[in-house]
């Protein structure tokens, strides 16, 4: 009899911690983040007040809590590439946007990155791109990092492409890239090599101006 009562009470005790966990989760999701003032953001970025307003309205509509976490980010980015799998590239993008590396993108991070990409100088843009490629943030791009990035980009294409994707296409792509960028042939690309090589290429310079009028 006592054993029966004992087992019953044990079961009820186990159930309580899970209820607390649910409450904790609820609290976490209530966290809200508000950006700094409009004037401050305007001075920090190259956007006008009106543009910032439009950007914030869209951002707040999608993320009422004021932050984007990685899963939401991946979901949003994947919707633009329905053919393939955009989650790996979205992961790298997320890390590039999340300048404070705390696992969530706030509006300031979002707007700072957009300001660089759309209104920055070519050097700033190339710097941002270098940061994107440099996954471990050690200041060098080595072949593994580049292969990861290129593979992620090819993943976005999906299976049905013309011509068909071969297994060594990313590798060839990476080899060509290093051929061009790695000036001193030491197997890694530094920021200066990267910026220099890009500035030498007319195509890249020209295409960097393409996205000026996105906003």
Partner 1 sequence: MAAGVATWLPFARAAAVGWLPLAKKTMPKPPVDKKSRNDEILFVNVSGLRFQTWKNTLDRYPDTLLGSSEKEFFYNEDTQEYFFDRDPEMFRHILNFYRTGKLHYPRQECIQAFDEELAFYGIVPDIIGDCCMEEYRDRKKENQERLAEDTEAEMATDTPLPPHSTPRERLWRAFENPHTSTMALVFYYVTGFFIAVSVIANVVETVPCRPPKGSKKDLPCGEKYSLAFFCMDTACVLIFTFEYLMRLFAAPSRCKFMRSVMSVIDVVAIMPYYIGLVMPENEDVSGAFVTLRVFRVFRIFKFSRHSQGLRILGYTLKSCASELGFLLFSLTMAIIIFATVMFYAEKGTKGTNFTSIPASFWYTIVTMTTLGYGDMVPNTIAGKIFGSICSLSGVLVIALPVPVIVSNFSRIYHQNQRADKMRAQQKVRLARIRLAKKGTTNAFLQYKEEGGFQDRGSDSALCLKNRSSFEHQHHHLLHCLEKTTNHEFTDELTFSEMCMTESVGYRTSRSTSISSQQGVSTSCCPRRAKRRAIRLANSTVSVSRGSVQELDTLQVHKTSAGPQSRSSLNARTEDLKLNCDDRDFTAAIISIPTPPANTPDESLPPSPAIPGILRNSRCSSFTHETVKISSL
The site for partner 1 (CB under 8 A) is made up of 50, 54, 57-59, 61-62, 76-77, 79-83, 93, 96, 110, 113-114, 117-118, 125-126, 128-129, 132-133, 149-150, 153-154, 156-169, 172-173, 176-177, 180-181, 194, 198, 203-204, 206-208, 210-211, 213-215
For partner 1, the closer CB: 132 or 140: 132
Kind of pairing, strands 67-69 and 104-106?
antiparallel
Q: Is 68 helix (H, G, I), strand (E, B) or coil?
A: strand
Least distance CB 154 / partner 1 (angstroms): 6
For partner 1, the closer CB: 37 or 160: 160
Q: Residue count of the chain, please give it.
A: 215
Q: Is 183 helix (H, G, I), strand (E, B) or coil?
A: coil
Kind of pairing, strands 67-69 and 188-190?
unpaired
Q: Which residues pair with 123 in a beta bridge?
A: none
For partner 1, the closer CB: 13 or 206: 206
Least distance CB 13 / partner 1 (angstroms): 32
C-alpha of 109 from chain center: 11
């Amino acid at each position: 009899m006592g054993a029966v009562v004992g087992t019953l009470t044990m079961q009820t005790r186990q159930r309580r911690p899970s209820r607390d966990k649910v409450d904790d989760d609820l609290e976490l999701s209530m966290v809200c983040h508000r950006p700094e003032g409009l004037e401050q953001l305007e001075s920090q970025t190259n956007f006008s007040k009106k543009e910032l307003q439009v950007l914030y309205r869209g951002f707040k509509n999608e993320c009422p809590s004021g932050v984007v976490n990685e899963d939401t980010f991946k979901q949003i980015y994947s919707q633009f590439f329905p053919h393939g799998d955009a989650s790996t590239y979205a992961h790298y993008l997320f890390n590039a946007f999340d300048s404070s590396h705390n696992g969530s993108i706030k509006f300031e991070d979002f707007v700072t990155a957009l300001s660089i990409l759309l209104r920055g100088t070519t050097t700033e843009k190339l710097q941002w791109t270098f940061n994107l490629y440099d996954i471990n943030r050690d200041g060098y791009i080595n072949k593994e990092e580049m292969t990861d990035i290129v593979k992620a980009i090819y993943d976005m294409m999906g299976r049905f492409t013309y011509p068909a994707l071969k297994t060594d296409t990313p590798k060839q792509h990476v080899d060509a890239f290093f051929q061009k960028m790695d000036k001193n042939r030491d197997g890694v690309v530094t920021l200066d090599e990267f910026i220099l090589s890009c500035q030498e290429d007319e195509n890249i310079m020209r295409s960097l101006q393409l996205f000026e009028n996105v906003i």
